[in-house]
Each structure stands twice: as C-alpha cells, then as structure tokens.
Structure 1
Amino acid sequence: MSHIYRLARLEDAEELLGLTLRAYEPIRKLNIKFPAATADLELVKQNIIQHTCYVLEVDQSIVSTITIRRFEEITDLPCVWWFAVDTEFKGKGYGKRILQYVEEDILRDRLNAKAVALGTSDRHPWLIEMYERNGYVRFYERDYGEEGKGVFLKKELVHELSQNL
C-alpha cells in the first residue's frame, strides 16, 4: 500500500469536492457554517490556488486533505483548515497522519513555524476535545451570534533540537 503526501493540483478538484462533501455531511446536519461543508467546485479550486492544500493519497486515491492558510484578523500563526478524511477511510489514522505531516514536516521543519492554529465551532460535539487531545489549546473565541462561537486553538511546534539544548 503506497502513501503519498503532495500538494493538491487543479485536476484534483472534483475528487476533493466529493471527499469534502462526504466528510462534512455531519457538519451540515449540525447546521455549522464551515465553508467546506457547502463547497462547490469553484470554491475547491479557489482553495487550491489561493492557499497551500495538501492531500494524502493511498494507492492513487485521495483519502484525506488539509490546507494551510492565514487568518491575519485572528492570529499571525499559520492555520490549518479544510481538514477532511473521506468517510470510506475514517478510523484508519489517515487524518492523524496528514495533520502530523503538515504540522511537523511542513510547518515545523520546512517553514520553521513555532506554532500552528486552527478554528472550529463550539457547536461541534467532539472536534474541540479531539484537537485538545492532540496538543492544541484554546486561545481565542469569537461570538457569531445564532451560529455559535468560533473557537480558535493553537499548538506549539517545538523543534527537537531546541528541546535538547
């Protein structure tokens, strides 16, 4: 079984749209207004062009995706968003793998980021706790009225070398 991490390409857009809509179906049912939950092909293409979108391929099929972008109005840290695992592959560790790849290999080791941030909804029943179990801590909340609160979390990305000094 081959695993390949790579940047998304425009020709991946249709496959990414299908994966995203399947993965975000529970978000739609909760009536949480994440852009990815109601994405269309044009929005997927914009995400690929405007941000840094990674995919994890297993045996030439995209099983997971995550994007790095900035939210300057919230933080100067790089942020991960549009994180999705295809429903056919949930529970196999692919989400954890791509998140760890982006946190460690890309952000920490290549871009020398000291930390990473992300945002989610306080209305989601388990996402905040999942991120907290993976080392993220809350640092900011924004009230969106009827849509609930946006909860922003960050994770320190400490270089192993600096830990040993």
Structure 2
Amino acid sequence: MFKQLILLCALSMPLVSCAATAPFSGEISTQELLSDYNKFNEQYKAYTPTAQDIALMQKLEGKELIVLFGTWCHDSEREVPKLIKLLDASKVELASIEYVAVGYNKQDDAGIAQANDLQYTPTFIVKQNGKELVRVIEKPTGTLAQDLTQGL
C-alpha cells in the first residue's frame, strides 16, 4: 500500500508543476508586462524605432487597438515590446488600447481572444468605432509601424 501511495504521488508531481507554470492570461498593463516579464523588458530596451516609424504611428490617432499575445510566445516577446516603444516614442493618442495575454490555448477568461477570432500570437487589431481596419498577425511584412498603418 505504501509503495502504491509513493507511486501515485510521483505520478501526480508533473500535473502539479504544470498547473503552477500555466502562463498568465487576461488584460495586463504595459508596466506589469515590462516589469514581470524579463524578455519583454529586454526587447523594449533594445529596440530603437526610426523617425519614419514614429511619424507613421500618428495615423493611429483616435483609433482603438487590441493586442492579443502570449507571455510564453517568442513572436510576442519580439513584437509587443516594439509596439510599446513605438507608442511611447510617438505619444499618439489612441481612443483605447487593450493588451490581452492568452494561455497556451489562445484563450482568455473574458473571451476577448475568441471574440476577435485569434488564431496566432501576437495579433494586433486596429479598429475605429468597433470596425476592424487593420490586422497584423505574428510578424509584420514590413516594419510594425508600416503594417499597423497600412491603408489608414
């Protein structure tokens, strides 16, 4: 009996450790993201936007921005800090911005990812009056500023 109990405990350990390491999901501020996630902070510090990209960001004035990403995702670690730096440098005034972290299943408890048909992370969605204008998925084809403002 004692051996069976030991075996059961040993087999249960991976389940407990997986639950403890589940990624954060839900809305998060840029301050929390940069202070709690080292790789995001390192990328933020390392990125220097061009004057042209900073100027392009003004096209987002008055728009809504939704950023769906994973704290566990290498593409998110690369692209989300670039967005934060671009927004900081440009000082563009958005109507609203939401940073929503998702779990490995690409879902969040509030259903924001599902409502915006998230398939890949990160996904940046620019809206105006609730209507989607631009969607950038995973990695921009040009610079992030160029892709976010394409057609605006």
Q: Flag the structure with larger Rg.
A: 2
RCO higher in 1 or 2 (8 Å CA, sep ≥ 6)? 2
* Structure that is richer in strand per residue: 1
TM-score by length of 2: 0.28
TM-score by length of 1: 0.27
